Amino acid sequence: MTALKTRKPTGLPSWPMVLLAGREGAGKSWAAAMASASELVGRTLWIGIGEDDPDEYGVIPGARFEIVEHDGSYQGILAAVRAAAAEPMDDRPTLLVVDSMTRLWNQLTDNAQAVANRRAKGRKNSNGDYTVSADLWNVAAQQWKDVMDAVRSHRGPAILTARLEQVMVMENGQPTNEKVWKVQGHKSLPFDVGVLIEMHERGHFLMTKAKSARIQIEKPTPAPGFTVETLWDRLGISTQAQLGIRTHADVVVDKEAAPDAEAQAAAVPSGRDWLAEAGQATSKDGLNALWGQIPVHERSQKLRDRMGELAIAFEQRAAEPSPEPEKAWASPDAGPASDWPVAPIPQGEEVRPGEEETPPLEGMEPEAPLTGGDDRG
């Protein structure tokens, strides 16, 4: 049995992960560049994703940042974030800027769409693309999590940027006249950061989230004259001595099996004909349940394609209009439903001469004679 390990809270603030979400031209990158001028931080490492490099912002008084170069691929971006987070710090922490998270999520979804198009299975959507399957969405979500985990591993301050757009509110699958502001990126982004600042227009700042004991907000609160350095001060971060270390309780994949045991399990086939079992599925839920039973090493591309075809067929079948229900049989007194001849229904057996009906036993009712009702059952 593992011994219980505990620690007492320090009560000290830690460097926050700040999300600056705004419309185009609202000043997100400008605010991040200004933060690099703070005496509270040493180096600033700037990782651009799909945005113009902020070379010109080097003229901001006091701005001190270094632009991290990468090849633009997902692997290149992830490697850049991990390397920046692992950079050693001097007496002052390094500020990490990632601009923009919206572009990162767009890249991941574009990659998933490209794979779906290469598979070339299923129905095209209104944009002329093929439907992205659940396994591809899972890959994109995991790639997003890997980048966020790399940012969280950084012990200094971090600033993320994202686009903010007005979207229509949907009710029961139908659009309404109401609109709300929404951060563009993976849906988990607003939950992962400690502070969220919305910038609906340049020079206007709205604080919609602050995970802090020193800044308490019950609803979106205007923040006139906002700067990142002012935010740090309000959070209680004015000297390095007043800082606690940012930690988080992460989850890890349980790997109880030794590598040789995993390899041995992968080498032994299950002996099941997964293609045949997929063909016997009667619903998309059944396919998903079957997919969960298939060992990873037996998930061939042929099997993926076949199950994708079946899943799309089930979706198409579900989207087809339901057939009109059959008309109920006419009631007995409604007359014949057609011009077919109808034979009269006998009203009971005729008693032959000399035969008498058997009297019913005491306490029992005589059997009711047949009526002219509809007797199809």
Better-predicted residue by pLDDT, 193 or 262: 193
Widest pairwise Cα distance in the chain:
126
Residue 253 backbone dihedrals phi, psi, to 5 degrees: -70, 130
Give the model's pLDDT for residue 134. Answer: 87
Q: What is the rounded distance in angstroms from the CA atom of residue 29 to the CA atom of residue 54?
A: 8
Average pLDDT value for residue range 43-66: 94
CATH 3.40.50.300 residue ranges of the chain are 17-242
Give the model's pLDDT for residue 222. Answer: 94
Is residue 161 within 8 A of residue 20, CB to CB? The reply is: yes
Tell me the pLDDT tens digit for each residue of 163-174: 999 888 888 777
Around 13, how many Cα atoms within 13 Å sit in the side-chain half-sphere? 23
Give the model's pLDDT for residue 346. Answer: 53
Domain 17-242 has CATH 3.40.50.300: yes
205-225 core/surface letters (b: 16 or more CB in 10 A; e: else): bbbbbbebeebeeeeeeebee
**What is residue 232's three-state secondary structure?**
helix
Is pLDDT above 60 for 349? Answer: no
Is pLDDT above 60 for 193? Answer: yes
Tell me the DSSP string of 42-78. S-EEEEESSS---GGGGGSTT---EEEP--SSHHHHH
Average pLDDT value for residue range 83-99: 92
pTM of the predicted model, to two decimals? 0.65
End-to-end Cα spacing for the chain: 66
Tell me the pLDDT tens digit for each residue of 230-261: 999 999 887 665 566 666 666 655 544 444 43
Q: What is the rounded distance in angstroms from the CA atom of residue 316 to the CA atom of residue 329?
A: 32
Tell me the pLDDT tens digit for each residue of 313-328: 776 676 666 555 444 3
Is pLDDT above 70 for 344? Answer: no
Better-predicted residue by pLDDT, 283 or 76: 76
**Bridge partners for 164 per DSSP:** 183
* Window from 17-31, 142-156, 247-261, 283-297 with minimum mean pLDDT: 247-261
